[in-house]
Amino acid sequence: MVRSTQISQTSTESISANERLVNKSSKVIKNIFRDNINSNYTEIIQELDKNFDYASNSNCYWSEPEQSLLYGTPLYQAASSSQKLALNHLYWAMQYSKVPLDEAGTMMFNQVTASVFSTLGGFETLCQELDLETTQESYHIHAFQRISRLTKKALLGKRLTQLSKKTNNDWSKKILKVWQQINLSTINPRTANLFSSLPYLLLRYTNKIMLESKGNQPSKYLQELEKKNEFLNVPTDGVVSQLPFRRLTMQLLTLNCGTSPFLACHYYALRLIANMMLKNWEYNYVLYFRKLKNNNTEFLPAPTAVSYFHFLDESFHTTISKTIAQELYKFFPKPTAYERFVANMSIYLMQLNLKSVSSVIPYRFIKDDFSLMFLFYQLLQTSLFDMSATEALYWLEKCFCQEHEGFNITLNSHQHLLTNLCQLFGCIEYLWPVNYEMRLMNSVNNTNKVIQSNIQTFKLFAKFVAHQ
């Protein structure tokens, strides 16, 4: 075992010692980097993105019907074939509107942690791979945002604009305003005053005492972020959106992962959860793409192809996450009690994102029933369904508060993800049982629990709507 203070020297001896120590992992990393740099999946995604227009892709399904909004609900059964087709396209648009939030976070953490590895020396290929991944994510984000935006605009554009005018003074705006006043995450970092800088100073002090005093140095990238006063702009959306005090939590994690080599490696256990969450539903697009190809189908929808090539690009990223999370950390000094605590707490908190299943979006686990109810309440009043407010409420209750096939699909996929994560985390020595067995995630085990919670939320939602 080599202390981080020793391996921070950039002498030839220490570099070759590091190379020897990481031999097994570095073989995998070198192979992945070689395959990734020789692949053209990102370029294909760029082309598909550039040439996409909704009209040319509007007449066919982009996946099996089960990957459609509201699939399995009584409303889906009653929907016309054109409504079902639109729900299939909107599912793609909604799922891929969320992915950029996570990938933007990945871009920042890739750079923060690569800078730690680069300071240590001996991890050149890994740093090159992480740089390549960061560039790839920027093209992925562009494609997802553009295709999702054009799809939503084509299917909902006009009526949604009317709706947003109509809801200018509604309760959701009022709640948002209050939330903005009390939520630290909305404070503009450039105008941050003493109130917002105190928690940051406390985090900075914690990093100093717990990590820097043990011989670790904040990475160059982290120092640059701090110099530019951009450190406060940590990502707080996507898979981390459910974290308590999410801005402070993410700031602490950024500081810690950008200072301790062990925690820099641990970040990839968190990234692995995000990789697996994505893979859990994106793989169905891969199967559908292959099915169309095998059937010699003349037309391959562009969004299906984007999913397929994104999955291939992401396979490289997933293997890197797995290699660092399961192997690379072993070559650094054993974690201190503080590092072990931060690592375990971060996995524990990530499990909060996996503690529920959605009733109306198959394969989605993040608990956001209240905002989803509002979104679908609006959707049912667009030209797609053309319902009145009363009709929309009636159908919402049927979809959210009664058992239907959609629940089973999502619960099965939740179970599938749980099994995969337990297998992946079982060999990570420093994790607490609650984390390697994903006990918090495992607490979602029956439809009834979800329905009971939805009934309570729906009662609240119906009251709010009635008072508008």
Angstrom distance (rounded) from CA 88 to CA 65: 6
Angstrom distance (rounded) from CA 238 to CA 217: 29
Least Å distance, CB 342 to Fe ion, is: 23
Within positions 352 to 381, which residues make up the interface with Fe ion, using CB under 5 A? none
Q: Does 317 bind Fe ion (CB under 5 A)?
A: yes
Cα end-to-end span (Å), the chain: 64
Q: Does 98 bind Fe ion (CB under 5 A)?
A: no
Question: Which of 140, 414 has the CB closer to Fe ion?
Answer: 140
Within positions 140 to 159, which residues make up the interface with Fe ion, using CB under 5 A? 140
Question: Which of 314, 327 has the CB closer to Fe ion?
Answer: 314
Within positions 229 to 288, which residues make up the interface with Fe ion, using CB under 5 A? none
Least Å distance, CB 133 to Fe ion, is: 6
Least Å distance, CB 415 to Fe ion, is: 24
Question: Which of 98, 204 has the CB closer to Fe ion?
Answer: 98
Least Å distance, CB 88 to Fe ion, is: 22
Q: Interface with Fe ion by CB under 5 A: which range of 22-30, 83-91, 134-142, 357-365? A: 134-142
Q: Interface with Fe ion by CB under 5 A: which range of 16-24, 69-77, 121-129, 139-147? A: 139-147
Least Å distance, CB 429 to Fe ion, is: 26
Least Å distance, CB 156 to Fe ion, is: 25
Q: Interface with Fe ion by CB under 5 A: which range of 129-137, 150-158, 368-376, 448-456? A: 129-137
Residue count at the site for Fe ion (CB under 5 A)?
A: 5
Instruction: Give the sign of the dihedral formed by CA 334, CA 336, CA 341, CA 343.
Output: negative
Q: Interface with Fe ion by CB under 5 A: which range of 100-108, 144-152, 189-197, 448-456? A: 100-108
Instruction: Give the sign of the dihedral formed by CA 311, CA 315, CA 321, CA 325.
Output: positive
The DSSP line for 240-286 is GTTSTTHHHHHHHHHHHHTT-HHHHHHHHHHHHHHHHHHHHHHHHHH
Question: Which of 129, 137 has the CB closer to Fe ion?
Answer: 137
Least Å distance, CB 280 to Fe ion, is: 14
What are the structure tokens assigned to 399, written together? 């979809």
Residue whose entry in the numeric block shows the structure tokens 């950390």: 329
Question: Which of 49, 314 has the CB closer to Fe ion?
Answer: 314
Cβ–Cβ < 8 Å for 365, 354: yes
Q: Does 322 bind Fe ion (CB under 5 A)?
A: no
Question: Which of 270, 384 has the CB closer to Fe ion?
Answer: 270
Question: Which of 277, 373 has the CB closer to Fe ion?
Answer: 277
Q: What is the largest CA-CA distance in the chain?
A: 74
The secondary structure of residue 204, as a DSSP letter, is H
Angstrom distance (rounded) from CA 233 to CA 192: 11
Three-state DSSP at 341 gives helix
* Residues counted in the chain: 468
Angstrom distance (rounded) from CA 214 to CA 235: 28
Within positions 169 to 208, which residues make up the interface with Fe ion, using CB under 5 A? none
Angstrom distance (rounded) from CA 130 to CA 133: 5
Question: Which of 307, 381 has the CB closer to Fe ion?
Answer: 307
Within positions 297 to 316, which residues make up the interface with Fe ion, using CB under 5 A? 314
Three-state DSSP at 359 gives coil
Question: Which of 196, 241 has the CB closer to Fe ion?
Answer: 241
What are the structure tokens assigned to 185, written together? 């995450």
Least Å distance, CB 168 to Fe ion, is: 35
The DSSP line for 383-399 is TTT---HHHHHHHHHHH
Query: Residues interacting with Fe ion, by CB under 5 A?
Result: 103, 137, 140, 314, 317
